[in-house]
Structure 1
Amino acid sequence: MSLINTQVKAFNATAYHNGQFIDVSEQDFIGKWSVVFFYPADFTFVCPTELADLADQYAEFQKMGVEIYSVSTDTHFTHKAWHDTSEEIKKIQYPMIGDPTWTLSKNFEVLIEAEGLADRGTFVIDPEGKIQIVEINAGGIGRDAQELLRKVKAAQYVHAHPSEVCPAKWKEGDATLAPSIDLVGKI
C-alpha cells in the first residue's frame, strides 16, 4: 500500500538539535512543510555526504517554510557524538532524530529489520501531516538536496494550486498544466 496522502502515524522520539536533546512527535509536522530524511547509520560513508548536502541547503528549505528531520536507527546520543567529531556533520542545524526502537522506520516502511537499519527514504509531508512525496534509494545511492528542493517547491505549488500540475523537470516559475479533456492526447 502506498504511503502517498496518508497521515503520518503517531510517534515520540528524541532528537539532537543545536546542542540539546529535544522531544519530537508527529505533532511537530502539523502546520508546516517537513522533510523526513532516513539514512542507514551514523559514522558511515554515503550518509555524511547526504546530511552535509542538506545542511548546505538548509537555509533555502527554511525560506520555504520547510523543516528537515534526519532519522537513523542510532540513538540521539550517537547523533551528538557524530556531530561533535565530524566537520561535515557539525554543519547540521536541523533535528537529528534517533530511532533505536524502530518506530519511525516501521511507520514509514523503510526498516531493514535483518540489519536494524533504515533504507535511504525521503518523505515530504504537507502542513496537514500527509505524505506527499516518497522516495527510497538503495544503500549505495546518495541523494541530492537540490533535486529535493525542486520537488518540495513542486509539492508546495500543487498544494496551493490544486487545479494545476507540474510537468517533468518543472522548476519554480515554469509553466504548469491545468488538466482537462482538451489536453488529452495533445501533450
Structure 2
Amino acid sequence: MSLINTEVKPFKATAYHNGKFVPVSNEDLKGKWSVVVFYPADFTFVCPTELEDLADNYAEFQKLGVEVYGVSTDTHFSHKAWHDTSEAIKKVNYPLVGDPTGTITRNFEVMIEEEGLALRGTFVINPEGQIKLCEIHDNGIGRDAKELLRKVKAAQYVASHPGEVCPAKWTEGQQTLKPSLDLVGKI
C-alpha cells in the first residue's frame, strides 16, 4: 500500500535545532507544508552533501512556508556533535531529528531493518498532515534540493488550484493542464 494521501502516523522525538534540543512530533507537521528527509547516518559521505544542499536552499523553502526536517536513526546528541564538527552541517538551520528507536523511520516505511538505518526517503506533507510526495532512493544516490523545491511548488499549486495538474518538468508560471475528455489523445 502506498503512503500517498495517508496521514503521518503519531511520533515524538527530539531534534537538534539552532543550538538547542527541541521536541518534535507529528503535530508539528500540521498547519504548514513540511518536507521530511530521511538519511542513513551522521558522519557519512553522501548525507552531508544532501543536507548542505538543503541548507543552501532552505531560505527558498521558507519563502514557500515549508519547514524541512532531516531525520536519521542517530540521536540528537550525535546530530549536535556532527553539527559542531562538519563545515557542511554547520550550515543546517532546519531541525535534525533523532530517531534512535526507529519509530519515525518505520512509520515512513524507510527502515533497513538489518542495518538499523534509513533509506534516503523524501516526503512532502501538506498542512493537513497528509503525505503528498514520497520518493525513496538507494543510499548511494543523492538528492537535489532544487528539484525538490520544484516538486513542492507543484504540490502547492495543485492543492490551491483544484482541477488542474502539473505536467512533466512544470515550473512555476508555466501552463498547467485541466484533465478533461477533450484533452484525451491530444497531448
Fold match (TM-score > 0.5): yes
Matched pairs, number: 187
Between the aligned partners of 1:162 and 1:2, the Cα distance in structure 2 is 22
SS at match of 2:74: coil
SS of 1:88's equivalent in the other structure is helix
The answer as to 2:123 corresponding to 1:123 is yes
Find the counterpart in structure 2 of residue 165 from structure 1. Answer: 165
Q: Distance in 1 between matches of 2:135 and 2:162?
A: 22
Aligned to 2:58: 58
Q: Residue 142 of structure 1: CA displacement? A: 0.2
Query: Any stretches of 5+ residues in structure 2 without a counterpart?
Result: none
Residue 41 (1) aligns with residue 48 (2): no
CA RMSD across the alignment: 0.3
1:83 matched to which residue of 2? 83
CA distance in 1, matches of 2:30, 2:123: 14
Distance 2:5 2:141 in 1: 26
Q: State the partner residue of 1:147.
A: 147
Which position in structure 2 is the counterpart of 1:32? 32
What's the secondary structure of 2:106's corresponding residue?
helix
Q: Tell me how far 1:162 sits from its aligned partner.
A: 1.5
**After superposition, what is the alpha-carbon deviation per residue over 1:50-84, rounded to whole angstroms, capped at 9, x for unaligned?**
00000000000000000000000000000000000
**Aligned partner of 1:114: which letter?**
E
Q: Deviations over 1:130-174 (max 9, x none)?
A: 000000000100000000000000000000002100000000000
Task: State the 4+ residue runs in structure 1 displaced beyond 6 angstroms.
Answer: none
CA deviations on 1:98-154 (whole Å, 9 max, x unpaired) are 000000000000000100000000000000000000000001000000000000000
Residue 14 of structure 1 aligns to a residue whose secondary structure is: strand
State the TM-score, normalizing by the size of structure 2.
1.00
Residue in structure 2 matched with residue 107 of structure 1 by the alignment: 107
Equivalent-residue separation in structure 2 for 1:83 and 1:159 (angstroms): 35
What CA distance in whole angstroms lies between the structure 1 residues aligned with 2:64 and 2:25?
A: 21
Quote the residue 1:174 is aligned against: 174
